[in-house]
Amino acid sequence: MQPLKNPASSVALRVATAMHQMGIDGLPRNYELVYEAYAGSNPDLVREFIALGKAKTQEALDALGRKYLPHHHEDGLLSRQNHRVRAEMSSFISMLNEEKTSLSDYGRLIGDASKVILADGEIDHAELGQSITALKQATEKRSTQNSSVVRAVVNQTAALADLQRETEAADNAKFIDPLTGLGSRRAMNRALAKIYANPEMPVLSGLAIGEIDEYARIADMMGPAAADRFLKQAAKVVQSVTSGDDIACRFDAGRFGLLFYTSDEGEIVRLVDLVRARLRATAVVNSGSGRTLGQIATSFGICLSPQAPNAFDFMSHAEKALATSKAAGGNTVTVYGAADPTFVPKDWLIYQREARG
């Protein structure tokens, strides 16, 4: 019996081969760019990648990366932001220095007026009148300047808040699938890492990885625009079964991931079956003929956190379970370890006590 192929490994091999054939340097940012282009999760990226032609220069690849994978070019973003922050703060400091000088002048006028008023003997009314006039004019000027300072502070604060939002948006873009708005594979990897933050006591959870059977053929029959609309609709279905801290992600093409913060196998299988039933009920139409393409079948692989010692194996076991479902003809759900008579799921706390004993 031949070993089942891991879909993710198959894509990774094709990407590495393609990079070698196109003479693209094996840089991490290049690998992810080519991977995303081959996965087809972003049609605009695919079109612009193809438009680069056979000879793809590093400069052209980086320009494309800055547009679609900005997290690999954060140095440029940070440099621009630092320049803007410096400019904003320099302007603010200059304004404060001007305010300091203005306050000193105002204080001097107050001091001069005080000397006239508090002087011994008779008050020189002419000198007092001049002091009062000067103080009145200075006070009116101060009032105007105070309003200007307040406006400047508000504007500076707003400008810095815009910079903060831009930084947060760039950071969040790393973890969002641009087509569906779900989390990306990177978001799932980050969540899985947190599950095993304490490797001896992982958070009880279940990972389900699903794939729309024959998605490539279906997408080809639907056409790019209709396929994108269908994926957005499918994403809403996938997300509809999540609640609380549960996470729904799109990995690539028609592949999705669901992380449930429960290790109740029956509940996870129920939610996965709910996704499959709702997708089966989703109307899919051929853009050319206008006919429906029939019911949408999906395959899933499930793994529970007590079955994996780390985040890598957690993902890998779920991928293997999915591969088993696909090898069985699709439209199937496989729970990792369920077919192994030697595997007996245990409560993780009990397992820890037994291991230590």
Amino acid at 49: F
* β-pair type (255-260, 206-212): antiparallel
End-to-end CA gap in the chain: 39
> CB count, 10 Å around CB of 132?
13
Give pLDDT, residue 305: 93
Distance (Å, whole) CA 38 – CA 58: 18
Give pLDDT, residue 337: 83
Nearest Cα residue to 182 out of 270, 261, 241: 241
* β-pair type (247-252, 206-212): unpaired
Cα dihedral 78, 81, 87, 92 sign: negative
Amino acid at 94: S
Specify the pTM: 0.56
DSSP assignment, residue 199?
Answer: T
DSSP assignment, residue 342?
Answer: T
- DSSP for 46-63, written as a single string: HHHHHHT-SS--HHHHHH
Distance (Å, whole) CA 319 – CA 321: 5
Q: How far is CA 347 from the centre of its chain?
A: 33
Mean pLDDT for back-to-back runs of 10 residues, the chain (357 residues): 47 78 83 78 79 87 78 51 62 66 71 66 63 70 68 68 65 80 89 88 94 89 86 93 93 92 94 94 71 84 93 90 92 82 40 34
